[in-house]
Structure 1
Amino acid sequence: MRKNILITGASSGLGAGMAREFAAMGRNLALCARRTDRLETLRDELLAQNPDIRISIGALDVNDHDAVFETFRAFEADLGGIDRVVVNAGMGKGQPLGTGYFYANKQTAETNFVSALAQMEAAMELFRAANSGHVVVISSISAFRGMPRNLTTYAASKAGVAALAEGLRADVMDTPIEVTTIYPGYIRSEINEKVKKVPFIVDTATGCRAMVRAIEKEPAEASVPSWPWTPLGAAMKRLPLRIVARMA
């Protein structure tokens, strides 16, 4: 059992939702995000409901890459080890290419890919030393194909991080270190709360429960919730681009 779990981007949305699920299972948590006031509130909530677990919190902007390594090492020292790292922190800000919003697309690409690389590097530094661990990368169902409009850069960054995870999986194959890529479908959270008429969307609690259930099985890859995203994800890889574009 992975007892000590580190989650980035844990102050809200999917990160906070996964923290609630893992806490209810009796796991110790290392939670980090930029908004420490929210982390403190979440910690107090979880400890009130699960008094036997340990929770360590820390401020972290994942775009400060040196701080990523420092924070992960500090969590390891505080909890006496880290067994699983969930690379969750990310952003969905983006605009169609060529419309004057390069800064927004650049920020999304850097946060979702380069900063995910930093988190994976920091996690693997701990896990290679321990010869054990579980790296979980949160990608997106949109990573399966190129997507139009505001999703173009986001989908590309999530495809990139999924390829990064697959490369790491190949590198540590047949070792005690496991790598899982999670492809969430449409789950309501702060990143998409203003988006209307989203097909097959589920609430945060339902989506996070499905994510944690999949993570616990430690597969190479999983689309969640499994229905309808496992068959739809497979279809997205094969459908004509014109049809896929209508799903955005």
Structure 2
Amino acid sequence: MSKGTILITGASSGLGEEMARQFADLGYDLGLCARRTERLEALAAELTGAHPGLRVEVKALDVNDDEAVFRVFREFAADFGTLDRVVINAGLGKGAPLGTGRYDANKQTAMTNFVAALAQTEAAMEIFRAQGAGHLVMISSISALRGMRKTITTYAATKAGVAALAEGLINENVKAKGIDVSIIYPGYIRSEMNEKVAQQTKFMVDTKTGVAAMVEAIEKRKQKAYVPSWPWVPIGFALKNAPMSVVRKLF
């Protein structure tokens, strides 16, 4: 018997793909969406092959297409009858230092990571408010805790924005309406997005290990979680509270 239904955006690679595997292992039916449907279909075949009886639905979605976001979310809700959890995960890691001629890259990241996340949040919350229940999960980043420099300035700002959207809902006390909200702040987890980063980056963990920490926090419905907890809980505290001169040495 299914534990419930989870919609995951950006599920064709990286953290989204591995979350799909681990939630399937836990017995959840899945609605998976991303631009690359051939990868989604291959993942669906893998998951249903490993878990007979599991229901996995896939749909093409470019999260920068507002109309498509609302349509696809509503279609998943109609297909399954209900959506128990939505994981807003789709994102980009492009970027360049501000003022160096790469506004195009920074804008693309801002539009995908924040504006598209806003559309997804609106679409998910419409469904949850109508149901009177649901669990919204926003994938932020440990970099969201403080202004970051050089190539990740815009990325960090977008992830701070994502966290602020979720925190606003927590402040609204949507929990009283049956809706849980979780903000997940991953540290350095190996994924397709950062595959070009030096393999020996300090504190980097493999995708499976990192996502296991994310899934554990999501299953506990934590409002906020730095994952993996070691070393990111103490580093997160330092990031939020230390002078910028210290932050500069950490990141």
Give the TM-score band, short-chain normalised.
over 0.9
Question: Which residue identity does 2:10 align to in structure 1?
Answer: G
Is this contact kept in 2: 1:84–1:135, CA < 8 A?
Answer: yes
Aligned to 2:190: 188
Aligned to 2:154: 153
Q: Determine the C-alpha separation between the residues in 2 that align with 1:223 and 1:52.
A: 33
Q: Determine the C-alpha separation between the residues in 2 that align with 1:64 and 1:244.
A: 36
SS in structure 2 of the partner of residue 237 of structure 1? helix
Aligned to 1:213: 216
Aligned to 1:228: 231
SS in structure 1 of the partner of residue 176 of structure 2? coil
Q: Determine the C-alpha separation between the residues in 1 that align with 2:170 and 2:54.
A: 30
SS in structure 2 of the partner of residue 99 of structure 1? coil
Say whether 1:50 aligns with 2:58.
no
Uncovered stretches (5+) of structure 2, i.e. residues with no partner: none
Q: Determine the C-alpha separation between the residues in 2 that align with 1:37 and 1:245.
A: 41
Question: Cα RMSD over matched residues?
Answer: 1.1
Q: Determine the C-alpha separation between the residues in 2 that align with 1:245 and 1:19.
A: 35
Q: Determine the C-alpha separation between the residues in 2 that align with 1:188 and 1:218.
A: 24
TM-score by length of 1: 0.98
Is this contact kept in 2: 1:2–1:83, CA < 8 A?
Answer: no
CA deviation string 1:153-172 (max 9, x = no partner): 00000001101110011221
Is this contact kept in 2: 1:2–1:84, CA < 8 A?
Answer: no
Give matches, 1:14-93, under 5 Å: 14-93=15-94
Q: How many pairs were matched up?
A: 248
CA deviation string 1:188-238 (max 9, x = no partner): 001101101421010000011110000000011000001111111011111
Give matches, 1:82-231, under 5 Å: 82-171=83-172, 172-196=174-198, 197-231=200-234
Shift of 1:145: 0.4
Q: Determine the C-alpha separation between the residues in 1 that align with 2:34 and 2:159.
A: 20
Shift of 1:60: 0.2
Shift of 1:2: 5.7
Is this contact kept in 1: 2:129–2:177, CA < 8 A?
Answer: no
Question: Which residue identity does 1:201 align to in structure 2?
Answer: M
Is this contact kept in 1: 2:97–2:153, CA < 8 A?
Answer: yes
Structure 1 residue runs of 4+, over 3 Å off?
A: none
TM-score by length of 2: 0.97
More deviation in 234-243 or 211-220?
234-243
Q: Determine the C-alpha separation between the residues in 1 that align with 2:175 and 2:40.
A: 35
Q: Determine the C-alpha separation between the residues in 2 that align with 1:14 and 1:124.
A: 22
Shift of 1:241: 1.0
Q: 1:2 to 1:245 in 2, by over 3 A?
A: farther
Is this contact kept in 2: 1:141–1:183, CA < 8 A?
Answer: yes
